[in-house]
């Protein structure tokens, strides 16, 4: 069976997670689906854990692409944007030397 160059790994997500819970290794999963090597599975699982942590922290994924003409931000989106900006300001104020500001 020839190895494929690219696989839509997100479509295999549920199956991969079930196999991990069943105790299969990342290498076994990669061989089962005919992926290049275990790093494909490793990186997928890493991305999933990162997304879960962000959702728990209240950081929702940004929408991709350009908004349509009649688009208005909902109150929830506005609150989320304000919260994100406040976190940025707090970070910038707490450590200006890391950014190259005052010393």
Is the per-residue pLDDT at 103 higher than 60?
no
Q: List the Cα angle 71/75/78 in 5-degree steps.
A: 80
Contact 80/60 with Cβ under 8 angstroms? yes
SS (H, E, C) the chain: CCCCCCCCHHHHHHHHHHHHHHCCCHHHHHHHHCCCCHHHHHHHHHHHHHHHHHHHHCCCCCCCCCCCCCCCCCHHHHHHHHHHHHHHHHHHHHCHHHHCCCC
pLDDT single digits (tens) 44-70 = 999 999 999 988 888 777 778 887 777
Rounded to the nearest angstrom, the gap between the alpha carbon of residue 9 and the centroid of all alpha carbons in its chain is: 13
Which residue ranges make up each domain of the chain?
A: 9-99
* Mean pLDDT of the region 26-50: 92
- More reliable by pLDDT, 69 or 23: 23
More confident residue, 43 or 65: 43
Q: What is the pTM of this model?
A: 0.58
Spatial separation of the C-alpha atoms in residues 58 and 72, rounded to whole Å: 21
Sorting pLDDT into bands at 50, 70 and 90, what band is 1? Answer: low
């Amino acid at each position: 069976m020839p190895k494929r160059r690219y696989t839509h790994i997100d479509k295999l997500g549920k199956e991969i997670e079930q196999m991990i819970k069943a105790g299969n290794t990342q290498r076994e999963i990669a061989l089962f689906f005919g992926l290049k090597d275990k790093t494909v599975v490793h990186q997928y699982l890493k991305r999933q854990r990162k997304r879960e942590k962000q959702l728990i922290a209240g950081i929702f994924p940004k929408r991709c692409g350009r908004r349509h003409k009649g688009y208005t931000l909902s109150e929830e989106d506005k609150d989320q944007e304000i919260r994100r900006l406040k976190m940025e300001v707090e970070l910038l104020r707490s450590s200006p030397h890391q950014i190259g500001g005052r010393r």
